[in-house]
Structure 1
Amino acid sequence: MSQLKPGTIVDLTVKKDAKTAYILENDVRLPKERGSDALNSGDKVTVFLYEDKKGQLTASSTLPDVSLNSYGWVEVADVVDRLGVFIHIGLPKDVLVSKDDLPLHTSVWPKRGDHLFVRLDHDRRGKLTAKPVTEEIIDQERDRAPKELMNQPAGGHVYKAAKIGSFIITEEGYRGFIHHSERKEEPRLGQWVKGRVIAVKEDGTLNISLRPLILESRDEDAEFLLTRIKENGGKIPLTDKSSPEDIRDYLNLSKAAFKRAMGKLLKEKKVTQNDGYTYLVKEQED
């Protein structure tokens, strides 16, 4: 038999029945699992190979959904800043997704309970690891979204976090893109998000917004803007004549959203503008 490697599924013969484990050929241990069928010497068993906490090659009769050749959704079990995140694939030992395969900023790393779409792999030392899905694989495997999804709710997990925006796979298997202007804050990799479809592209992909409809958004943005002015000592260096870039850098709002929110506050006489600044009206300071 060729050299056995962690992450592979193989058929091995039972050599001996020990107290806590079956000893398979090549002296691979198969720990006994509660409720599993008893095995006898000479039986053939299909197992998944992994290294236990001592680094010993070990077998499991539980076959994970994710493998070296197939992707699957798995839950994040733990986060270790200096290493990456550990995912649970149904084995006694969790598998590492290296920090080298995660976003540069840890603020958008997955948290425990998030889900990543990964396949298994080996690092340079031959240790079992996991790799997040690539855009190429997503493009090969995704379904084409129908035009009827326009303006419909859409939810899914983020599989890629980028400066330009967030990419998700919806629960129906469609690829969705959330431009940075269509979210209040950047979602984490692996986070479940829910929004609405604002475009169905010709290639069958979706554009999705996490922002509420305009009237709801205007009210939320007005409250956000009022809070920022209060936090900044009662003024901010922006008016409705400020550039879109300055507004985006300071508040992460589009100019259109900013003007709607500012118009509401001006109409309600909660703020005034002068010399390039917006000021809180005095009675609003309490």
Structure 2
Amino acid sequence: MLALGKINRLTVKKQVKFGFYLDGLSWGEILLPNNVSPAGLEIGSELDVFLYLDSEDQLIATTERPKIKVGEVAQLDVVATTKVGAFVNWGLKKDLLVPFSEQQIPLKEGQKYLLYCYVDNSNRIVASTKLDRHLHKTPPSYNAGDKVSIMISEQTDIGYKAVVNHQHWGVLYKNEVFKPLRRGDKMQAYIVKVRDDGKIDIRLNASTFKQAQELTDRILYKLQQNDGKLALTDKSSPELIYAAFGVSKKAYKQAIGSLYKDKKIVIAEHGIILVPTT
């Protein structure tokens, strides 16, 4: 099935003076202009094209790749503000509209904004800064350790809010981030867990995730073997922590912090206590 605002594989149906017509199946013939047609293109050839509406709202194909596609999030520059909304540069000849109704705050020319791209009820490809309106609409189905792509949205009191795989919200906790991050930064990350409320915890480093998961399992095992109590807190000396687990104090603090957030332990003045399972 063809999709507006996405990459589609189509077959060349015929050649005309100004380009090629592609077989759009139930959508009819779709023009691929000469200036975006690859050399050596022939009738019967298949190629991947992006489908959008030109300045006259006619369906058109291009081999150019936009900076954002339908269902994606990207940080883009505002190139104009008009009576119908703001326009951003998405890498194609026709700029992308951000309607007034989809602006969290009035957009300013020359500024960058994080945007979600979608097809509206009028069958137009548009963008929105109201990410909460468009993200997290489907239940997250990630497993611990899954590799995902993320984009930083904003810094919060607990760390950084990030868009996961263009579809969900995730959180990077500040005690697990060891480099400056800015809005729009793109990188790989790893799922720590999907919480019961649908919120997603993520980490930047795979080895950090594996080490932390391994350490939390070891701490829980030792608690179970010691009547649910362990005389080591985040204030214990590095020497005592290393003697018990062979890890740094920093790693231990992160591990018990994770267990505390998951409500598996209570941190008391003189140690940690296992929370009984029901």
Give the TM-score of the pair, scaled to structure 1: 0.46
Give the TM-score of the pair, scaled to structure 2: 0.47
